Amino acid sequence: MTSAPTESTKVKNRRPRQAVHFGEPLPLGAHLCRASWLCGPSVTWMMLFLVGPLLFVVAMSFAQRGDDGEIVWRFTTENYARLFGQGALGFDPVQPLILARSLGVGLLTAILCLLAGLPVAFFIAGLPHRWKGAALTLVVIPFWTNLLVRTYGWQLILAPDGWIARGLRTANWLAADGELYPGWPAVLIALVCDYLPFMILPLYTSVEKLDPALEEAAADLGASPLRAFWSVVLPQIRPGLIAGCVLVFLPASGQFVIPDLLGGAKLALLGNAVQQQFGASRDWPYGSAIAVVALLVMGAGLWLHTRVTRGRREVALP
């Protein structure tokens, strides 16, 4: 086992990766030449409108707010200190709480989507072939409606005098003065419903590839259904599971429309905080700092994802 990695590096060194064009090996110069005019436009576009502004935001997060809300280009780390709770009057938990709450909401949404999505993925994978396409279309149908429209729809459905809220009150699952909207229940319901397809689709692709013989082998070797799921099925669908969790967690923790409209403007998340700083508060440097931290958190999530999935491949191909 110890010799395996060196062998693979040997193979890598012996055969450097070379570009191939319709089966013909391409010299590096020709490859770069070709690539430059093919990829040039999109690279220029990304540089001008994504990387440039991003660097500007990072720079701005180290600037200061002027008295009239203008940007004063004087270096400071105060924005970050404030975000992590270093207020003028000592430790102020409000801002770190927003960060923690956003991550918590993202995580909770991902977990709820996972719990709701797993059975759906298995159900679709188990359907006869000709029905699978239709079922997958049904999963993505909500995307045909604009997010904003859907969110306003939830306002009506979950309204305090709506039939769902009234029904829950009659069943005594909701306090007499309790309500779903505005509040956390409505936000979570909407988040889970909106991001569920992002969980179901990658899960489905993994579940689809499962070999039923492996489950039989597990049962044959004495694994109860639960243990077979845990020790054989789950490891097989792990790539889809991780992809789904990342795809749900990242946008859900940065979502600002849903908490704003359904949380009754009481529940600030990262997205809301950024929106507020760039809007009403006119504190662009602080808003930038929040955005940068949000970006770093998401980046860390993605890095963890690739690391875990690549880690698997490294085990698989030593």
Partner 1 sequence: MTVPSSTTFWFILPCRFTKTNPLQPAETNAADGSLVVECQQLTRRFGQFEALAGVSLNIRRGEFFSLLGPSGCGKTTLLRIIAGLDLPDTGELRIGGLPALHLPAWKRPVNTVFQNYALFPHLSVSENIAFGLRMKRLPSADIVRRTTSVMELTQILPLAGRHPHELSGGQKQRVALARALVNEPAVLLLDEPMGALDAKLRKELQLELRQLQRRLGITFVHVTHDQDEALAMSDRVAVMNAGRIVQLGTPDELYDRPKTSFVAEFIGVCNLFEGNLIRRTKQLLETETPLGRLRIELPATTIELSERSRLRLGVRPERIAMDGGQPGDNRLLGIVQSISSSGPETIAQVRVGDTLLRVTELNMGRRSVALHAGDSVELTISPGNFFLLED
> CB under 8 Å to 289, separation ≥6 — which residues?
61, 79, 80, 82, 83
How many residues in the chain?
318
How many angstroms separate the Cα of 252 from the Cα of each of 79, 95, 181, 217? 24, 18, 18, 38
Among 227, 266, 307, 310, contact with partner 1 (rule: CB under 8 A):
227
Are 303 and 247 spatial neighbours (Cβ–Cβ below 8 Å)? no
> CB under 8 Å to 268, separation ≥6 — which residues?
98, 101, 259, 276
Residues 231-250 that bind partner 1 (CB under 8 A): 231-232, 235-236
How many angstroms separate the Cα of 56 from the Cα of each of 40, 53, 284, 297? 22, 5, 11, 19
* 311 part of the interface to partner 1, by CB under 8 A: no
Token pair 């279309």 is found at 137
Among 220, 279, 303, 310, contact with partner 1 (rule: CB under 8 A):
220
* 7 part of the interface to partner 1, by CB under 8 A: no
Shortest Cβ 16–partner 1 spacing (Å): 24
The footprint of partner 1 on this chain (CB under 8 A) covers a number of residues equal to 23
Are 225 and 232 spatial neighbours (Cβ–Cβ below 8 Å)? no
Shortest Cβ 12–partner 1 spacing (Å): 17
Among 18, 36, 145, 224, contact with partner 1 (rule: CB under 8 A):
224
Shortest Cβ 127–partner 1 spacing (Å): 18
Residues 131-190 that bind partner 1 (CB under 8 A): none
* 1 part of the interface to partner 1, by CB under 8 A: yes
* Residues that bind partner 1 in the complex, under the rule CB under 8 A: 1, 211, 213-214, 216-225, 227-228, 231-232, 235-236, 312, 315-316
